[in-house]
Amino acid sequence: MNGAPRVAVVGATGYAGFELARLLLRHPEIERPVFYLRGENATARCLTEIFPQLRGWGEAPCRPLSVEAIVKSGAATAFLATPHEASLEIVPKLMNAGVRVIDLSGAFRFRDGETFSQWYKLNAPNAEALSRATYGLPELYSADLPGAKVVANPGCYPTSVILGLRPIVEAEWIDLARGIVCDCKSGASGAGKEPKRDTQFVEVNENFRAYGLFTHRHTPEVMEHLGVSAEQMMFTAHLLPIERGILSTLYVWLSEAKRAEEIEALFRKFYAGRPMVRIWPAGKLPELQHVARTNFCDIGFALDDSGRRLVVVSCLDNLGKGAAGQAVQNFNVMHGYPESEGLI
C-alpha cells in the first residue's frame, strides 16, 4: 500500500485494545499496524499468540513497548489503549517526537487538568500536551481533528449521553431548572479486563445494580460537553449482566411545548451527514441488539401528550462507538478518509 500511513498500537491486550486491533487489521487505508506491548505480553512476537482468533488475518507483529522504537518505525499515528497512568507518561513523549496520538484513556479529555486529577485521583496531565488535545467526538468536533496532535477519545457513557442531548441543549429547548436525568446502563466489558470482584461471573449474572452515584468519573465529561452544571444534571451508571453495549435513557422537561415532528427534525438536521449516528422515527426506540458490534449510535425518543416531557434513548456498543470504533473514526477524519472507512 504505497503512501498508506503507518500506525502503532500501544496496549492491545484489553477488551477495547482487541476491538481496536480487529478493526485496524482490516482497515483498507493503512499499512499493517505494529503492536507495542509491555509486562508479561512483551515477549509476544505476533498478536495471534495472545488472541488466537486473529489467526488467518495476516501479520500482526508485536514489539516491546518503547517510545524510541515507535518513532524509529516511522509511525505517523499511535493509538493508545492504555491505562490512564500510562497515557499520562507516554502521550507527551510521542507528541514531542512528532507522532500524532489517539488516546483511549481519560488522561487528556478535560480542558482543565485539575478536573482530571480531582475525579481520577491521579496527577494532572502534561500542560502542553493537554493544551494541544482535541476531544475526539467527530459529530461535534470534526473541524478540529485534521490538525490535532493529540486526540482524547471520549468515554463510552459520555458519548451516548452527549450525542443524545447535545441537539436539544444547543437549541435551548430544555428547562434546565427542572434538571436532566441520565439513567445509563452498560455491559460488563466497560469495566475493563483487570479482575475485579464486582465483575466476576457470579456477581454479574442474573444481577443488576447501580454504582458510582455522584462519584462516577464520566460525570464531569458529560457536564463539560453539554455545558450544564452539577445542579442541573443527575448521572447514574448501572451494570448490566451482558458482555457489551450501553443504553442511556435521558429524561428532560422542555421549556416550551414541542411536537414530535419538531424533535425528530431537530435531531435529523443536527446529525445530517454524520454516518455513525442513526435517528429513529418519532416514538420508536433503539435497543442494544441493534448496535452490538457496530460503530453506530442509535437515538430515539418519546414525547408525552403535553409536548413538555421528553425521553431520549441513546444506544451504542461500548467497545465500538464507545471506544475502539470511535478511535478509528477519529483516525479517518484526521487523515481525510470517510468517517465510516473500515467501520461498516
Distance CA 92, CA 200 (A): 35
Please say if 46 is a catalytic residue: no
Report which residue type is found at 223: M
Architecture of domain 157-318: 2-Layer Sandwich (3.30)
Stretches where the chain sits below pLDDT 70 are: 1-2
pLDDT digits (tens, 9 = 90+) for 240-277: 999 999 999 999 999 999 999 999 999 999 999 999 99
Of 119, 121, 129, 118, whose CA–CA distance to 88 is shortest?
129
pLDDT on residue 2: 52
Considering the segment(s) 7-131 as one domain, its CATH architecture is 3-Layer(aba) Sandwich (3.40)
Q: State the pLDDT at residue 196.
A: 82
Which of 156, 182, 184, 315 is an active site residue?
A: 156
pLDDT of residue 87: 97
| pTM as predicted | 0.95
- Residue 60 confidence (pLDDT): 94
CB of 111 closer than 8 Å to CB of 132: no
Domain map of the chain by residue range?
7-131, 157-318
What's the sign of the alpha-carbon dihedral 159, 165, 166, 167? positive
